[in-house]
Structure 1
Amino acid sequence: MLEQLNGHDDPYPVYDQIRAQGALTRDGGLWATTSHSLVNKILRDRRFGVRYANGTYPGTPNVVSGSFLELDPPDHTRLRRLATPAFSPKKIDEYRARVEKVADALLDQAGDEFDLITDYAAPLPIAVISELLGIPDADTGDFANYGRLVAQSFDGHFSPDIDRANERIFALFERLIAERRARPGDDVISSLVAAEAEQKLTVPELLSTLVLLLIAGFETTVNLIGNGVRALLDHPKQWAFFKAYPDVAGAVVEETLRWAPPVHLTTRLAHEQITLLDKDIRADDGVYLLIAAANRDPEVYPEPDRFDLMRVQKPEHLAFSSGIHYCLGATLARMEGEVAFRAVARRLPDLRQAGPAGHRDSVVIRGMVSYPVSRS
């Protein structure tokens, strides 16, 4: 049934069909669950991992296969620990003023009609993560397109365009690594280069980690901003409420992440035979964790399909995953989302959609590639 997700702008009817089969169901060769409690349980269960029990990678490796996103402990723990300091709440809070300045500048530059994605939602987080990593502005021009190509590779789609983009991004990081070895700075690349010199990680691990931080640092945030603005404009009463009370920007972030999360699914592999809900999952069996469906689990959220800024977010949505793979950049994404939404409400109170939205060709990462809007 999951193959029906391909080409669907609205996957939620498919999720509902899967949910109707039970909390844990077999879908082709893999298990699948839409249950919030079960998705959360599996994400936290150390008997499951992102690789097979023998440590081999499932499927075709992609550009982040060597990063902590696609590793199990102890390598996951080792690499994540090296990157964590750059995303501490204190560090992220230091960037708030910078994000506000960038958001205002982008809206100043936008015309009466503009594309919310290419003119605002994409360049904002790209500017922030580039500064955090220490990537010069001159090297950031192709990042948005690169993020879309990487998103396709997560679905198992590969093309010469993806290969060429990967070559360019690795060449960029190899150049920046060489520069930081010669002239260290106060940035993430410099700190990871220092760790590599101390043999805390290998050069391939360093490269994969940097690509992961780059992509995760902007790709999902682009979709958070785009999905949130569209949800607001599609729900006039919620949009009016937010404009009247812009301090609820944090609630816009959380309800968008629940209602239209950037990442819709992930997979976990059993490292031993496990019985869940009276069903036997064999070692190395895969389980599709349908995060977007879990975020609309009717057993957890009343009227789950309703976009509601006053919703009590308990338990927490799973848009940032859970357990040891909980999103390292969650604090950064939340801050950027708050700033981006508040700036739109304050600066563009008469904003409206001005043309059809263009959707990403991806099952795993959901969002828009274009969203024409008008200031009035």
Structure 2
Amino acid sequence: MFEKLTGHEDPHPIYEQVRALGPLVREGADWVTTSHTLSNKILRDRRFGVQYTDGSYPGVAGVLPRSFLEMDPPEHTRLRRLAMPAFSPKKIDEYRARVEKVAESLLDADEFDLMTDFASPQPIAVISDLLGIPDSDTAEFADYGALVARSFDTGVTPEMAHANDQVLALFERLIAERRTRPGDDVISSLVAAEAEQKLTAQEMVATLVLLLVAGFETTVNLIGNGAQALLGHPAQWVLFKANPELAPDVVEETLRWAPPVQLTGRIAHEQVGEVGRDEMVHIIIGAANRDPDVYPEAHRFDVLRVQKPEHLAFSSGIHYCLGATLARMEGEVALRALARRMPDLRQTGPVTFRDSVAIRGLRSFPVSRS
């Protein structure tokens, strides 16, 4: 059934076919769920994890260095704790002025591509600041993020392997620089942790690559999906323009209605109900977020919706997205800036979608300010 998904078409008709089969469906050797309640329960259940019981991981080998996202406790706990200070509420507040300045600077053209000219440059600038990456090294990161997302579906291509080598070389160079000239950035803090033997050099590089990709990949697609949802629902766009304080609500409804990450998975560490030890449950976040048992009129985009229970766009449990607060803030700033600076914004041509099934986002979105 899922082989019909391309990344270009609306996946929800297929999600609804799966939902009709029940909350937990056998799919070959694995399981699939579209239920919000069951998905949230599995994501929070410590009897499930992201590794098999032999310690192996089901991801695509060689795409990225293995990070704490692909680990269970205690390694996950140790490495995540080292990265957490960079995403504290205090730190995020410190970045708001920078995000607002970047957003404003990107909205001067009359006609532009919302993805390449606005949605991508803003989070790249922010995550580069956070990690301490020089401006001269940030240009290739948008393409790198897109390649990583595509690799989840296509595997490792020569293009992906080359980009991966370039980014790893960049981080190795920056790490070497911070060992002699530390600064106030994430790389410097991880170098200090390595010196205290709290993590290895390989774990440090893996953490940095994860933060780089996750730090802008979700936000780019959040901004694009949010803008498309608003322009596709004119009454909602008018409501938002008249009430810019609704920006947090627009972000939450976008994350529910069109989450950038559509799929995730958990592996049972022991027999749990019908699910056997080392069996995978594929959690369809995009479907769980439109579960009619949880959200009235689930397929309707409504920025005034009461967001309870919380959507699963940032996962749940111990793997809840570390950068969720940053992504939310960037999305609010970007969409509010669009509404204020470009109240007559309109789409001027067909959008194109990313090839990825796991990541739902736009490749191009031509627009005009009037």
TM over 0.5: yes
Cα contact 1:60–1:156 (8 A) shared by 2: no
Question: How far apart, in 2, do the equivalents of 1:178 and 1:106 lie?
Answer: 33
- CA gap of 1:328–1:367, structure 2 versus 1, over 3 A, is same
Q: Which residue of 2 aligns with 1:73?
A: 73
* 1:122-271 pair list within 5 angstroms: 122-271=120-269
Kindly report which structure 2 residues correspond to 1:333-372, keeping only aligned pairs within 5 A, or say none: 333-372=327-366
Does the residue aligned with 1:155 lie in a helix, a strand or coil?
helix
- CA RMSD of superposed structures (Å): 0.9
Q: Aligned-pair distance for 1:274?
A: 1.0
1:60 CA drift (Å): 3.0
Distance across 2 between alignment mates of 1:294 and 1:274: 20
Q: How many residues align?
A: 370
Task: Measure, in 1, the Cα distance between the counterparts of 2:256 and 2:301.
Answer: 9
Q: Which residue of 2 aligns with 1:373?
A: 367
Q: Which amino acid aligns with 2:279?
A: D
> Which structure 1 residue ranges, 5 or more long, are not aligned?
none
The 3-state SS of whatever aligns with 1:267 is strand
Measured after TM superposition, the shift of residue 7 of structure 1 is: 4.6
Aligned twin of 1:281: 275
The one-letter amino acid paired with 1:249 is A
Once structures 1 and 2 are overlaid, which stretch shifts more, 344-353 or 51-60?
51-60
Deviations 1:175-227 (A, max 9, x none): 00000001000000000011111111111111110000000100110000000
SS of alignment partner, residue 274 of structure 1: coil
Distance 1:288 1:305 in 2: 21
Segment drifting more, 148-157 vs 264-273: 148-157
Following the alignment from structure 1 to structure 2, what is the Cα–Cα distance between the partners of residues 89 and 59?
31
Secondary structure of the corresponding residue to residue 231 of structure 2: helix
Q: Is the 8 A contact 1:43 1:323 kept in 2?
A: yes
- In the superposition, the TM-score normalised over structure 2's length comes to 0.99
Aligned mates of 2:60, 2:262 — CA distance in 1: 20
1:116 aligns with 2:84: no
Whether the 8 Å CA contact 1:152–1:158 is kept in 2: the answer is no
Q: By how many angstroms is 1:8 displaced?
A: 4.2
Counterpart selection for 2:290 from 289, 296, 319: 296
- What code does the residue aligned with 2:341 have? R
CA distance in 2, matches of 1:360, 1:161: 16
Equivalent position amino acid for 2:71 in 1: L
| Equivalence for 2:16 | 16
The one-letter code of the counterpart of 1:180 is R
For structure 2, list consecutive stretches of 5 or more residues without a partner in the other structure. none
CA separation in 1, counterparts of 2:8 and 2:368? 26
Tell me, yes or no, if structure 1 residue 55 matches structure 2 residue 55.
yes
Query: Aligned to 1:332, which of 319, 326, 347?
Result: 326
- Partner of 1:23, secondary structure, is coil
Does the residue aligned with 2:367 lie in a helix, a strand or coil? strand
Provide the rounded CA distance (Å) in 2 between the counterparts of 1:358 and 1:313. Answer: 29
Q: Distance in 2 between matches of 1:156 and 1:175?
A: 29
Indicate conservation of the 8 Å contact 1:63/1:208, yes or no.
no
